Amino acid sequence: MGKSDLEVPVICFGAWPIGGGLGRVDPKEAINTIHAAIDSGITFIDTAEGYETSESILGKALKGKQGSVTIASKLSGPDHSENHILKAIENSLSALGVDYIDLYQLHSPQPQWPIQETMEILVRLKTQGKIRHIGLSNYTPKETEQAMRFGPIVSSQPRYNMIFTQEDETLKFCEANEIGVIPHSVLSKGLLGGKYKPGHTFAPDDERRLFNFFRGSLFETIYEVTEKLKAWAEDRDRDLIQLAVAWVVANPAVTSAIVGMKSVSQVENVSKSATWKLTDSDLSDIKNIIGDLSPLWIKDQVN
């Protein structure tokens, strides 16, 4: 992981879904899913204080396992005051049932709080042994560079997948500066899961009901492309999910791809992605299928 001493697998267990972000998950099933992931070699887990019940469920599942997994969490929300950060880290440590967090990340830039002061607090927590390393999530190269002036940054967590690739510059910056990249939204919240069709209605407790790219003409355009990608993968005895993960991991800047899983069967399927090494010819085929979806980036940001 960048310049750190952390060694992680190429797939990271994204713990947003088990917290209820995609609808309620039975706690027992969530714990079974976490254990299945660890047993399959997915020993890197990413969560956040803002992921509803995610940290507390992980705390139950990981009891006595801290030494065998790498835990990443994030400071969520707009409050980067010292009081909130110190309270947040104690809450996370307590919920997770651990003495320290391997990788503690800022969930998103909050320019109303001076980055120097925020980093000084995190560096102090690192010195105290409550966190081992500091990372960033959803930060641009410029914002990352600013944070680096005040402390060591070992990782960056941009949104990056076959549909939304506007973070290419972030990946290039991180690779040049030896910062590990752990992309989130690898399956684009399910757009690359092969399950949902235009017109689908999400449950009231599923946050995707609020996402514009699951609605109207934007969803229809994306669906046409993902169906072609799905067919391409199936011609190779794979599926769209495995393709989405393998495509992200194929980028040399990527350290580990964060994939949300909420069932044992999903873990089993996603695990197969680690064995799929896409060739240059494969990547060229995929690029031709996707074409130029740049206008989607603009619509995604504006709506």
- In this prediction, residue 210 carries a pLDDT of 81
**pLDDT computed for residue 296 by the predictor:** 59
Q: How many CB atoms lie within 10 A of CB 299?
A: 14
pLDDT tens string 212-235: 888 888 888 889 999 999 999 999
What share of the chain in percent tops pLDDT 90? 79
Q: Residue 214: what pLDDT?
A: 83
Class in CATH terms, 11-302: alpha beta
At position 116, the amino acid (one-letter code) is Q
Over residues 72-84, the mean pLDDT reads 96
**Mean pLDDT score across all residues of the chain:** 93
pLDDT confidence band for 64 (50 / 70 / 90) = confident
Q: 12 pairs with which residues across the strands? A: 258
Say whether pLDDT at 241 is over 80. Answer: yes
Starting from the edge strand earliest in sequence, which strands make up the sheet with 257-260, in order? Answer: 180-181, 155-157, 131-137, 101-106, 70-75, 44-46, 11-14, 257-260
